[in-house]
């Protein structure tokens, strides 16, 4: 993984949990990787949030999406529709993810649905499928100081909850980012 030059396609399931989305986008803001998504992924993200957070004002979702698009204006990939039919994955509804990642020249797809992207089907496109916990741990291991700076900025941006360093670290664990939690726990004083 080449820090900064690694292009990662973010599946909708890593954008929906607010904490995970925030962590990934702060790492991207620190230029630890280049995030890539599609309009289809953003629509899936929005639909998922609307289903689970009915109390959330649609204008708030508009602001969240606009902030991400503004922060990463080159993240959205298009022009991949023609590839979709020629791809095979266990779940045909995931082919748009692989097609967009191919057109976006991504090195990997970050997803929690590893089984939906088998190595034998994705590997031929010189792409890896990575769980977000493994991805974040790789970033921390390769660029610890910059990763800690991103985490510190992420924590500071959580202005509504104002988490302590321990609260922030516990969010990693609650989000299923167990390895990342373990890597960061000894660095709480830098968060």
> pLDDT tens-digit profile of 181-191?
999 999 988 98
What pLDDT, on the 0 to 100 scale, is given for residue 1?
Answer: 54
- Assigned domain for 45 exists: yes
The pTM assigned to this predicted structure is 0.92
pLDDT grade, residue 3 (50/70/90)? low
pLDDT over 90 at 22, yes or no? yes
Torsion (CA) 54, 57, 60, 61 in degrees, nearest 10:
40
**In the chain, pLDDT over 90 holds for what percent of residues?**
81
What pLDDT, on the 0 to 100 scale, is given for residue 25?
Answer: 97
Domain enclosing residue 160, as ranges: 144-190
Question: 110 with 130, same domain?
Answer: yes
- Assigned domain for 1 exists: no
Non-local CB neighbours of 59 within 8 Å, separated by 6+ positions: none
Domain boundary residue among 136, 155, 181?
A: 136
Rounded Cα–Cα distance for residues 69 and 146 (Å): 22
- Assigned domain for 2 exists: no
pLDDT grade, residue 43 (50/70/90)? very high
């Amino acid at each position: 993984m080449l820090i900064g030059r690694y292009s990662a396609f973010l599946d909708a399931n890593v954008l929906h949990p607010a904490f995970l989305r925030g962590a990934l986008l702060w790492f991207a803001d620190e230029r630890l990787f280049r995030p890539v998504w599609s309009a289809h992924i953003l629509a899936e993200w929005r639909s998922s949030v609307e289903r689970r957070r009915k109390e959330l004002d649609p204008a708030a979702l508009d602001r969240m999406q606009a902030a991400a698009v503004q922060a990463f204006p080159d993240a959205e990939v298009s022009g991949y529709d023609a590839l979709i039919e020629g791809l095979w994955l266990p779940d045909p509804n995931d082919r748009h993810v692989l097609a967009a990642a191919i057109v976006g020249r991504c090195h990997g797809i970050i997803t929690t649905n590893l089984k939906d992207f088998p190595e034998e089907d994705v590997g031929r496109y010189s792409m890896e499928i990575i769980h977000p916990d493994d991805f974040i741990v790789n970033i921390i291991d390769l660029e610890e100081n910059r990763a800690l700076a991103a985490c510190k900025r992420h924590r500071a941006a959580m202005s509504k909850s104002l988490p302590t360093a321990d609260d922030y670290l516990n969010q990693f664990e609650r989000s299923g980012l167990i390895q990342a939690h373990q890597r960061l726990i000894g660095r709480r004083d830098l968060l």
